[in-house]
Amino acid sequence: MRPTAKDLAEAAGVSLATVDRVLNDRPNVSKKAFRKVNDAIERIGFVRNPAAVALARNKTYRFRFVLPLSGDQYLSELIGCVTEARNALRADSTEVEAVQIPMADPHHVAKYLSLIDHETVDGVAVMAPESPQVRDALVRLVERGVRVVQFLSGQERLESADYVGIDNVAAGATAGKIAGRFIGNRAGKIMVVAETMMALDSIERRLGFDGIINAQFPQLQCLPSLETYADEKRAELIIHRTLQHNPDTLAVYVLSSEARAPLTAVWNAQGSRQLTVIAHERTPFSERALMEERIDALIAQDPGHAVRSALRILRARADHREPLASQERIRIEILLKENLQLQSG
Amino acid sequence: MRPTAKDLAEAAGVSLATVDRVLNDRPNVSKKAFRKVNDAIERIGFVRNPAAVALARNKTYRFRFVLPLSGDQYLSELIGCVTEARNALRADSTEVEAVQIPMADPHHVAKYLSLIDHETVDGVAVMAPESPQVRDALVRLVERGVRVVQFLSGQERLESADYVGIDNVAAGATAGKIAGRFIGNRAGKIMVVAETMMALDSIERRLGFDGIINAQFPQLQCLPSLETYADEKRAELIIHRTLQHNPDTLAVYVLSSEARAPLTAVWNAQGSRQLTVIAHERTPFSERALMEERIDALIAQDPGHAVRSALRILRARADHREPLASQERIRIEILLKENLQLQSG
DNA sequence: ATGATATTGAGGTGCGCACCTCAATGCAAG
DNA sequence: CTTGCATTGAGGTGCGCACCTCAATATCAT
């Protein structure tokens, strides 16, 4: 039989009360007792029964995803994943919610975060653009006893918070390698489009992309990043113009998770030209375009995995446990038409 | 507050005993009572507290991985993942073990499986080559009340068992697409190497590979599959000969998870020739070769994910729950040097 | 030695459920 | 009506632990 706390007390030569004090970091424990209990734990291989702990604590965990307010398809996917996780975790006394707030003004975001405390919520996963105000607000959030996960967002990594998401430099490099090898040995230009180059993740992806292209594909030249500012008209205009001025464009790389506007513009303007198209993230739009071979490859991070990973980490932190690193690394996926694996089949 | 079984009994207008009978499929429940309880469950949104259930049942789950006896690096990785999962699940009253048995003789495998019953183990994940004997043994295992997962192996899919692993036809197609696009528009041949073409997964991968090459890259021609029979000398010989006879070979595709012998032979024989190399599975060997740019791409399925997935499914089945499909789909990963994401960094 | 404080033990309660027993009720066939 | 059986309810116990109280003892400085 598996040893219980009672066995542990016996083995350690102390009372159940002392075992309880040691196991739950309660005060008034002598160093000697502490050692006796920990030695006994090693000796008899005691492991707390999580079910019994959960039942006795009878605590409900409350976690919140703080996401940008946007009509982005990737964001919709993400919200869908949160909803799914919410339903799956309802059984485990875990309340999960997603809120969307405008991210344009860092002060507003910081203000929002400053109103959260551990009375309201045990942990938050925050997806917000880099800014000193937000970073500060996150640090203070941690200080107030709320677990924080930096979630899929181009922020400077905090010491005191966990990060869930991919390495964007590596993601850009991956895109670069795929683009370079897919293009073959023709010489020409690559058009790079982003919503904005103010975002850290765009900057990092571009950095990784350029690094690979410059080092390994000297016959290719990356054009300056085009910024759509999430404006369809503007996207249409600048992309059309760029394609006209650069007839030797061989490929398009869309940095941002929303590829719809840029790619629609590209397809309207490309004429009979063959373009290798690389974009980020799997959405209904990009999935369909991949199936129709209008996109050649997607660089993606699985939103479902990201959500579950964030929740597992928050849960582990709330229980003062170390998250299992090997399970929580989000992969940089390369999606082709062939390995898309649609749900239906 | 979250409703408990007591609340449910009250809401249904029955006693706790009847609620218990309905919830645990016990006999002697009238249709009327059954309906009353289920209606009340819907109405008040009752969800069983899994922690309380686990505690009250006080049951330990015993799952076993049945794997081939082989020095294969991928298998070592797999065993490592099982060990990791074993330690992680020890806390949850779940015993996980891995046994390795010789798979050469289907009768022997079937014999081994026939000795397993639900007294010994609650579920098994079996990785064994396709054969009618094994298939039969698995079906009978299920009939004896043992949950079965067909694990990462090229077996005909059973109705009565779950499957964990990738679609090998799609994996082959993915390899084909990567090979074709990486080669560019040069014309030439592709060498295909397998340990044996008797294995269903090799056949399926080859099928997917040829399908893509023939349909999308007519300038490329796939050579007949070379079979190494896991014999280094033989591999060396046939690969050397094939490369000599086919000076216009542009790429090598290794179908099996053990790429070491074939690729070593290729590197010994390739001379100054540039070859695009595609292989399967991430192992210390293939990882290193990818970093050194001796392999261009790996098609992989994450063994850690596969192990965890198999265990989650076995656990769900043992609890008469439906596994969460969306989480259990094993992805066909494309690994390049750029998205390898080594553990160290 | 004395008081103050730190440490320990004994014991109880409850978390939500599974599983068991036994008596009580219902219902049908004879 | 009685016998037999199916159904239901009341009640208890225990799973392993967290959390609490109170009294008893140990340890320290003075």
The DSSP bridge pattern shows strands B94-101 and B61-68 to be parallel
Separation of CA B15 from chain center: 45
| Contact list, B91 vs chain A (CB under 8 Å) | 47-50
pLDDT digits (tens, 9 = 90+) for A99-150: 999 999 999 999 999 999 998 999 999 999 999 999 999 999 999 999 999 9
Contact B91 A336 (CB under 8 A): no
**Cβ count within 10 A of residue B172:** 30
User: B52 CA, D20 C1': separation in Å?
Assistant: 22
> Given this model, what pLDDT does residue B8 score?
97
Query: Of B173, B182, B326, which has the smallest distance from its Cβ to A338's Cβ?
Result: B173
Q: Would you call A167 an interface residue with chain B, using a CB distance cutoff of 8 Å?
A: yes
Q: Do A174 and B338 touch (CB under 8 A)?
A: yes
| Helix, coil or strand: residue A152 | coil
Cβ–Cβ under 8 Å, residues A327 and B325? no
Q: What is the pLDDT of residue A341?
A: 86
Pairing of strands B220-222, B226-227: unpaired
- pLDDT higher than threshold 90 for residue A70: no
Which of B170, B308, B324 is closest, CB to CB, to A88? B324
Quick one: tokens of B2? 């979250």
- CA–C1' span, A59 to C22, in Å? 36
In Å, what is the separation between the CA of A35 and the C1' of D26? 18
Q: Does B277 touch chain A (CB under 8 A)?
A: no
Q: Which nucleotides of D are covered by protein (CB under 7 A)?
A: 6-12, 14-21
Which residues does chain A have within 8 Å of residue B336's beta carbon, measured at their own beta carbons?
A: 174, 177-178, 334
Taking one residue from A and the other from B, the number of pairs with CB-CB distance under 8 angstroms is: 118
Least Cα separation, residue A54 to chain B (angstroms): 6
**CA–centroid distance for A244 within its chain:** 36
- Which residues of B fall within a CB distance of 8 Å from A332? 338-339, 341
Cβ–Cβ contact A291 with B under 8 A: no
Residue with tokens 């009979």: A272
Residue B156's contacts (CB-CB under 8 Å, 6 or more residues apart) are: B130, B135, B200
Q: Is B215 on the interface with A (CB under 8 A)?
A: no
Please check whether residue B173 touches A, CB under 8 A: yes
Inter-chain residue contact A55 with B52, CB threshold 8 Å: yes
Distance from the Cα of B341 to chain A's closest Cα (Å) equals 8
Structure confidence by residue, pLDDT tens digits, A187-197:
999 999 999 99
C1' (D20) to CA (A42) span, angstroms: 28
Predicted local confidence at residue A345, as pLDDT: 39
Q: Which nucleotide is nearest to A55 (CA to C1')?
A: C15
B336/A333 Cβ within 8 A: no
To the nearest whole angstrom, how far is the Cα of A55 from the nearest Cα of chain B? 6
Kindly determine whether residue A332 and residue B341, on different chains, have CB atoms separated by under 8 Å. Answer: yes
Q: Is the CB of B2 under 7 A from strand C?
A: yes
Note down pLDDT in tens along chain B; length 345 residues. Answer: 899 999 999 999 999 999 999 999 999 999 999 999 999 999 999 999 999 999 999 999 999 999 999 888 999 999 999 999 999 999 999 999 999 999 999 999 999 999 999 989 999 999 999 999 999 999 999 999 999 999 998 789 999 999 999 999 999 999 999 999 999 999 999 999 999 999 999 999 999 999 999 999 999 999 999 999 999 999 999 999 999 999 999 999 999 999 999 999 999 998 889 999 999 999 999 999 999 999 999 999 999 999 999 999 999 999 999 998 888 999 999 999 999 988 653
| Best CA proximity match to A219, nearest among A251, A263, A173 | A251
**Chain B contact for A180 (CB, 8 A cutoff):** no
Cβ-in-10-Å burial (0-12, 13-18, 19+) of A125 comes to buried
At residue A193, what are phi and psi to the nearest 5 degrees?
-120, 135
Instruction: Assess A91–B contact: CB distance below 8 Å, yes or no.
Output: yes
pTM, to two decimals: 0.95
What residues does A64 pair with on adjacent strands?
A97, A124
Arithmetic mean of pLDDT, A12-37 = 95
- Give me the pLDDT at residue B345, please: 39
